[in-house]
A = this chain, B = another copy of it.
C-alpha cells in the first residue's frame, strides 16, 4: 500500500558502477579490443559476470558508457590574461589527456564509433562540445583584449589546435611521448604559436 515503493530485495551496490567502468577502461587501455574481455573486467574488479550484465547489455555498451563518464572530466576554462596563456592551458590539458592511457582509450573508442554507420552522435558530440566551449571562451576574451579580430572564424582554429595536439601524440614514438609527459610545455608551445600567429589581426 506504499505509494513511494522502495524496490524490493537487495539494492544495487552504488559503488560498483564506477568501479566497473574504471576497470573496463584500464582493461581496454592495456589490452586493446583484441584481448578485452568481460570476464577480464569482472576478474579485475573482483566481481561476478552478473554484476556487469545487470548494468550493460554487452561489451560495446560498457565501453561507451565508461568513455563517456571519463570525458566529462576534461573541463578547463581559465583566464590567464593572454590568448597564448589560455590556449596553452587548454592544449596542455588535451595533451595530457591523450598521453594518459585511459584518455587514449577514449580516443580509440571515439574513432571506432565514428566509423560505424550507426551514428552515435549524442555520444560523440558531447565529448567534442566540451572542447569547443572551452576554446570559445578563450577566443572571446582574446577579441576583447584586441589580440584577435572579431570576425575570425573560431572553428578552424579550434580544429587546428586540437588536431595538432592529437597528430603530435599520434606521430611520435614512445620515447618522445614519455618526454612530452614530463615537459608538456615544450611540445605544446610551437603548436599554440601557430594558432596565435594565425589569429593575430592583420597589420595595416
A residues lining the B interface (CB < 8 Å): 29, 32-34, 59-60, 101, 104-105, 107-108, 110-112, 114-117, 119, 121, 124-125, 128, 153, 155-157, 159-171, 173-174, 190-191, 193-195, 197-198, 203
Contacts and interface: CB of A to CB of B under 8 A. Distances in A.
A163 B168 contact: yes
Contact of A194 (B124, B160, B167, B168): B160
A60 B35 CA distance: 11
A115 B166 contact: no
Contacts of A153: 190
How many copies of the shown chain assemble into the complex? 4
B119 A174 contact: yes
Given A108-B112, A111-B111, A164-B164, A117 B174 contact: yes
A130 to B, nearest CB: 12
A107 B111 contact: yes
Given A33-B112, A114-B170, 12 more contacts: A34-B60, A105-B115, A114-B169, A119-B173, A119-B174, A125-B173, A156-B193, A163-B163, A163-B167, A164-B164, A194-B195, A195-B198
A35 to B, nearest CB: 10
A169 B101 CA distance: 23
Nearest to A105: B115
